[in-house]
Structure 1
C-alpha cells in the first residue's frame, strides 16, 4: 500500500519493503522449481510411457510418474527440442528474482521467450532426426514444421538453388542470441545488441541475394548446377485395400523363442472395403504371342480422324501412317507371376517378412507383417502395428529399418481410413522399368481411353496407364537430372504407338533443346519442333485460334464434344448426304434477307496434344500470355480435344502461379530440392527424399498420392522410332503456327460506295463479289497484312467466307500468292 500523507500505514515501510522482496524471492523460487521439474520430466522421457499418443500398461519410466510422462510427451511432440527454451528462460528469470536483482522490460522478455521457442523449433525442423529420437518424426515438433514453412515462404525469393533452407536456419538461429541477451543483459544493452543482430542479418541476406543474381547472370540456363541428391525414403503412397489380422492374433513383444515364419494368406475384412485397386493385385501375365508388330486398336472401335481442314491454308488430309513395331524398343528382364522364379520369390518373401517383423520388434514396435509384394524396384510389405502404437514412431524408424534389412533405403507410409502401414524396402537387384514392358501388356493394349498415357509402374510392378482426355492437363516437375525429359519422351512414344497422325497431332515446344528435338520431322507434328521462346508464345496464340475454330465448327452442328462431332461426320459419310447449313449473306433491294446453303467441311476432328518442355522459360518472358492461354483452354479443352503436357525444373510460385497450379490437376513430381517444393507440387512431403532418377509421386486431386517408377527410354530407341515414322510419310505442317498474330480493333462501318466505282484492284462484276468485300479490302490495306483470322474477327464472318474473300483479292491483284510459309503480302497500297 503506498504511503499517503495523513494516514498511518498498517506496517512500517521497512516491513513492507521486506514483504515485497520476500514475495519476489518466493515467486523466483517457484519458477526455479517449475523449470527444474520440467527439466526432470524431459530428461527422463520414454516413448513407451502412457501418453496421449501411446496406450501402454507397462511400468512408467518417467521420474515424475504419469503426469511427467504426459507433460513431456505433449511438449516434445508439440515443440521438440524447443521445449528446453522455457526451462532455460524461466530458470534464468527465477534465479534473478531469487537473488533480488532488478528485472527490466519484463513484458518484452516474455515475448522474446515465445519468439525464441517458435524460431528454435523451426531451426530444429531442418535437422534430420537421429535414430534415437522417439518423440515424433521431427526435432522441432508440430510447431517447428509450421514455423519452418512460414519462414521458408518469407525467404521464397532466395530459395532457388537450395539457399532457402540455409537462410531459414540463419534467421531462426540468430533469434536465439537475441532472446538470451534479453534474458541476461540490462534493457538498454539488450536492445542495442538485438538491433545489431538484425542489421547483420539484413547485410548477410543482401550479400547472398547479390551473389545469386551475379551467378544466375553468368551461368547459362542449361549449365546451372543440379540440386543435391538425397537417397532417403518418401512417406507417401497409393491407397491399398484393408488387411485385418486373423482372429486370435495377439500383438505382443517377441517371445524368447522365435515364432514360425508368417504365411501369406488372404484375410477376410471385418467391414466392407472398397474395390481393391490393381496396386496389390498380381500384374497380368506376359503378352500373348503375335504382338511384336503392335497392331493398335480395332478400326471399328477407334475410327481414324484428322484435324479439321477449313481452307486452303490447312493440309488436305493427314497422311496414313502405320504404327511402329515394338521390336524398335528394348525389353527388360522383369520376372512377373507365372515365371519359374515365382516359387523362389514366395520363399524369399516369407523369410523377409519374418526378418522385418523381428527388426521392428527389436526397436520396440510390435505387430504383424501380413502381406508382401515384390516389384521391379521395391518390395511392399503390409504391416499391422499393435493397438496404441503411434504411426509416426514407425515412420521415424525408416532409416533404422533400412540398415537392419541391409537395403539402400526404406519407406513407411500410412493410408487414410486403414489401420495398417505400408513398408517399402529397396530390392537388392532392382529391375529397370522399360517402356517395352508396358506397351506390350494388356493394361495398354486393352485400355479403353482414346488417348492412353503411359506413366510407368507402381511399387508392385503393375502398369499405370491414364487417359489424357480425362485429365486434361498434366504437369511434370522436379530438379535437374531426375528424369523429367525422359518421362516426356516416354509419354510421346506411348502416344505414337497408339495414335496415327489421323488420330492426333502434336505441338512440341522444347525451349531447353533437349531430347524432344529428336521428334522433329515425324508426321504427327503440326509444325517443326519449336525451340524459341517467342515462337512458342506465338504457338499458344495459334492454339487459341484453333480452339475458336473448333468451337465454331461444333456450334454449326449443335454438338458439345469432339466425340459427338466426329459421330455426326461419320453418319453423314455413311448416308452419303453432305452436311449443310443455311446462312444469311445480306439483304435484297426490297429489304428481304438473302440466304444461301453452304456445305460444311465434313472432315473429322483429331486430338491435339501440346507438349511443353520447361514452361518456366515462357513464364519468365510473358506470364500473362501463358496464363491467359491455359485458362481459356482449360474451360473447353476437354470437349474440343486439346490437351497440354508440360514440365518444369523450377518449382516455385513465380513459375507455377496459383492460377496455373489450379489448372494442372494431375501432376507428376520427381525429386525436389526441399520438402516445401514437395508440398507445393503434391500437397505432402516426400518428393525431396525420392532415392533415384525415374522415381516420382503422381498426384491427382481427391486421390491418394501414388509412387510410380517412370519408364526409361534411351536416345537410341527414340531415334529408331522417329526414323521409322519419318520413313513412312513426310510431315504435313500447318502454316502460320508460329507467326505473329495481333488483332486490331473492329473498324467503324464503311461509308456506302458507288456501285459503278471500281475497286482498288482490277474491275470485276459486282454480282460475283461478296457484300463485305469492299470492307475487307479496306481492312487489309489499312493493316498492311493479309490474315484470314483478322477478317473473321473484324467482319464477324466464318473461315470459309474469309478464305474466299482473300482468294478473290489474289485474283484481282490486291495481294500476292502465298509463299512457302503460307504468308501473303499486300500489293494494293504499293501501286
Structure 2
C-alpha cells in the first residue's frame, strides 16, 4: 500500500489542491451577507444560499473579512500549485511556497487598501481589501506616508507575483500582447480576404457580362502527385504563336496560391511532457502576406514555345497538362507514338534556352503515366517556411514518430516523412544549395515533437558552424564532436549501444524499440530491482558486455555533417562502423543522417549506398555526382536555395520538393528555449569512452565491434595470441591477421603492444619482427 501511495503521491496531492481551490471558489462565488457566519446572526437551521452549505458560508465570510476581494487570488494560487504538481515541476521547499502564496495575497490586499481607503462592498459589510489589508496599509502610512507606501506596496506586489508564478517579468506583458496581436491579425486577414474576394467577384461579373460564356475541359489524367486536384483548360481565344486549331493544355488555375494568412496549428497537441515543455510554433515566423501568383498567359506562352521548339527537332506531340508549383512548373508532354524518349531527354539545354529558364529537367517518363514531364523554373519563386510544415496535422500524427519536414511538393502540398521508417538518410548538395539549412530544419522539427526523454542526438560537426546552434540543447547524448578521431569513437559507442539495445529487446521479448518501451512500462518496482541486481552481478563478474537496459529508451539520431571529410581522414574505420549501424540499427531506434557536399565514389561506397535507401540531393556540381547519390542524373539541373530531389526507399524515380527556410533568429529562439530548461545530460559511458580514446587512431579499431575497453590488453584474444607468439621465432601483423583471422588494424595494434612490452623486437624492414621471449608470462 505504501508503495502505491508513493507512486501516485504527486497526483494525489495535485487533485487535493485543485479540489480545495474549486471548493473555495464555489464558496466565494455563492457568498451571501445574510448567510450564517461569525459576523451575522441567524437561526441555526435557516436556509443557506452558499453552494457549499454552512461550512462554505463561514469560510467565505472569513476570507472576505480578512483580505476582501483578494480572496480570489487564493483560488488562483491554489490552482497554480495544483497544475504545477501535475506538470511535475514541484518545488524543493513546499513551506517556502506556502509563505510566498500568503505574502502574494496580502501584498495585493494592502495595495487595494491604499486606493480604496474605507470603501465597502456586500451591503457595506466588507472592506475591498479586507481587515488585514487595511491594517497593513494604515500601519505603513504612519511610518512612510502614502507616497512611500505606494512604492513599497507596488514593489512587493510585483516581487511576490514573480515568486508565486516563477515566470520572468516579460511573460506578463508579452503574452497579452501576443494574444491581442493574434486576434488583430486574424480579424484583419479575414476582412482583407473578404474585401478582395468581393472586389474580384465584381470584376468577374463585369467580364462575364461583356464576354460570351466559355466552358472548361477537365484534364484527362491528373499527375500522380496532384491527387484530387483537377486541371482545367481555358479555351478562350488569345494572342499567341499557336494557330486557332492548336490545343491549349489544361492549366491548374485552382492551384494558384492564395494570399497568405496567419499559420495556426491544425491539430491540438499537449506541449507539457512530464518535466519538459515543448516549443510553441509561434516561435517560427509566419509566411509573408504576399503570394507568388501564376500567370495563365505566361503558362500558355511557354506551352506554345515548348511545342514549337520540340517540333523543330522532329519531336511531335502536345502538352496535355500543366502543374504550377512553388519553385517550378511541370509540363506534361505527350509525344507521338513514333518518338523515342531518348530524343527528348537530350534536348534539355535547348529547351532551357527557348523558354529562357534558369533550369529545365526532363522526367522521361513520369512513373505510371504515358507522358514526359518537363520541369521549368518559375520567374518568381515562393519561399517555403518551416512553420507551414510543422503546423500540418500530418506532422503530429502518431504514425510519424520521427517526422522530417522535407518542404513542399511540386503541387504545393506539405511533405513529411518518418525517419523511423526510412530508416537512414543521406543528403548531398553543393555550397549554396540549401543542404545545411535543410539539415537544421529537420532537426529543429524533431525538437518540436520530442523532449530529451524520447529523443537524443549525436552531432558530428567538423566545421563547427552549420550545427553550432545545437551544441547546448539538452537532447545531446554526448558533447558536440568536431574531430575525426572523436567521431570514430562516437560511432563505435553507437555500435556498442545498438548491441546492448538488441540484448535488452531479446531479454524482454520485443521486436523493436516501441514494443520494448511498452513492456518496460508494465514492470513493477520489484522486477526493476531484480533486473538492477542482475546487471550489478554482471559488472562485478567483469561481464559488462552482457549487461542490458531495463529502463525506457529514447530514439537516437546520429547527425554527421561533412561526411566526406570524415571519410577522407579515416575511411576504413568510418565506413565499417556506418555500415554496421545502417544494417542493424533500425529496430533499436537508432538512425543516421549523413550530409556531404560532394557525393564522390570514394565517399558514397557501394555498402553505404546499399544500406541507406533514403537519399536527398540538392544542386550538385556534375551529372556524375547526381548519379552517385540518386542513381540517375538530374540533380545538377536543380535550382539553388532549397530545390531538391527526394528518392524514397522502394521508389524508382526521385520526386522534386522545395525545402523549408529557417532564419537564424528562429533557430536561436528555439535552441535558447530548450537550453533554458536544462543543460545537456551526457551519457556517462559515452563520456568515459571519449576521454579514454587518447590520441591514437589505432585504439579505434572497429573490428572489435562489442565496444569493450579500448585498452589492447583487455582484448579477449590477447593471452591466446601472446601464448602462440612465444612459440615462434618471428612474427608480423599480416601473420597474426592470417593466423587468427583478425582485421589488419587490430593485428597492427597488437604488434605495437607486444613491442612496447618487450615481447617482440623493433621493425626489421620487410622481414618479420624477432620474438624476444620463449615462454608466455602468466596472465
Q: TM-score normalised to the size of structure 1?
A: 0.49
Q: Which residue of 2 aligns with 1:213?
A: none
Matches within 5 A, 1:655-734: 655-703=603-651, 704-734=653-683
2:620 pairs with 1:650? no
What's the counterpart of residue 340 of structure 2? Answer: 390
Higher-RCO chain (CA-CA 8 Å, sequence separation at least 6):
1
Instruction: Tell whether 2:400 aligns with 1:449.
Output: yes
- The CA deviation string for residues 344-364 of structure 1, in whole angstroms up to 9 with x for no partner, is 756765665455445545654
For the pair 1:470 / 2:456, whether they are aligned, the reply is no
Matched, 1:611 2:559: yes
- In structure 2, distance between residues paired with 1:326 and 1:400: 45
CA distance in 1, matches of 2:536, 2:548: 20
Shift of 1:505: 0.6
Q: Say whether residues 1:518 and 2:488 are aligned partners.
A: no
Residue 377 (structure 2) aligned to one of 417, 420, 426: 426
Q: For residues 459 and 607 of structure 1, what CA distance do their matches in structure 2 show? A: 31
Structure 1 match to 2:276: 321
In the alignment, which residue of structure 2 is the partner of 1:566?
Answer: 517
Structure 2: gaps spanning 5 or more residues? 1-222, 233-239, 538-546, 694-708, 720-779
Matched residue, 1:746: 716
Q: What does the per-residue CA deviation read over 1:556-597, in whole Å, with 9 as the maximum and x for residues that have no partner?
A: 212221111111122336x9975856999999xxxxxxxxxx
Equivalent pairs counted in the alignment come to: 458
Equivalent residues of 2:604, 2:628 under 8 A apart: no
Aligned to 1:262: 248
How is 1:3-152 mapped onto 2 (pairs within 5 angstroms)? none
Alpha-carbon distance in structure 1 between the residues aligned to 2:655 and 2:683: 39
Is 1:623 the equivalent of 2:571?
yes
Secondary structure in 2 matching 1:520: helix
Is the partner of 1:394 in helix, strand or coil? helix
Unpaired segments ≥5 residues, structure 1: 1-237, 247-253, 267-279, 305-318, 588-598, 750-831
Change (3 A) 1:470 1:579: farther
Assess, with a 3 A threshold, how the Cα gap between structure 1 residues 634 and 690 changes in structure 2: closer, same or farther.
Answer: same
How has the CA–CA distance of structure 1 residues 244 and 728 changed in structure 2, closer, same or farther, with 3 Å as cutoff? closer
| Aligned-partner SS, 1:466 | strand
Q: Deviations over 1:68-118 (max 9, x none)?
A: xxxxxxxxxxxxxxxxxxxxxxxxxxxxxxxxxxxxxxxxxxxxxxxxxxx
Alignment of 1:223-242 (within 5 A): none
In 2, distance between residues paired with 1:437 and 1:245? 24
Q: Report the alpha carbon displacement of residue 298 of structure 1 after superposing the two structures with TM.
A: 9.1
Instruction: Tell me the C-alpha RMSD between the 2 structures.
Output: 4.1
Show the 5 A alignment for 1:254-293: 257-259=243-245, 262=248, 264=250, 291=264
**CA 1:671–1:351 in structure 2 vs 1: closer, same or farther (change >3 Å)?**
closer
- Cα distance in 2 for residues equivalent to 1:626 and 1:468: 22
Secondary structure (helix, strand or coil) at the match of 1:667 reads strand
Q: How far did residue 521 of structure 1 move?
A: 0.8
1:381 alignment partner in structure 2? 331
Query: Aligned-pair distance for 1:689?
Result: 2.5
Task: State the SS of the aligned residue for 1:485.
Answer: helix
Structure 2: how far apart are the matches of 1:466 and 1:281?
26
Q: Distance in 1 between matches of 2:230 and 2:448?
A: 42
Tell me by how many angstroms 1:610 deviates.
0.5
Give, in whole Å, the separation in 2 of the partners of 1:558 and 1:549. 14
Q: Secondary structure at the match of 1:622?
A: helix
How far apart are the structure 2 equivalents of 1:428 and 1:717? 28
Pair 654,579 (structure 1): closer, same or farther in 2 beyond 3 Å: same
The 1:296/1:537 distance shift into structure 2, 3 A limit, reads farther
Q: What's 2:160 paired with?
A: none
TM-aligned CA deviation for residue 496 of structure 1 = 0.6
Instruction: Give 3-state SS (helix, strand or coil) of 1:513's partner.
Output: coil
CA distance in 1 between counterparts of 2:505 and 2:346 reads 56
Q: Match of 1:631, SS? A: helix
Pair 496,651 (structure 1): closer, same or farther in 2 beyond 3 Å: same
C-alpha contact (below 8 Å) 1:509/1:613 kept by paired residues:
yes
Aligned twin of 2:696: none
Q: Matched residue of 1:721: which SS? A: helix
Deviation per CA, 1:37-87, whole angstroms, max 9, x where unpaired? Answer: xxxxxxxxxxxxxxxxxxxxxxxxxxxxxxxxxxxxxxxxxxxxxxxxxxx
Structure with greater helix share of residues: 2
The structure 2 residue matched to 1:635, chosen from 570, 583, 596, is 583
Contact kept? 1:398, 1:411, Cα under 8 Å: yes
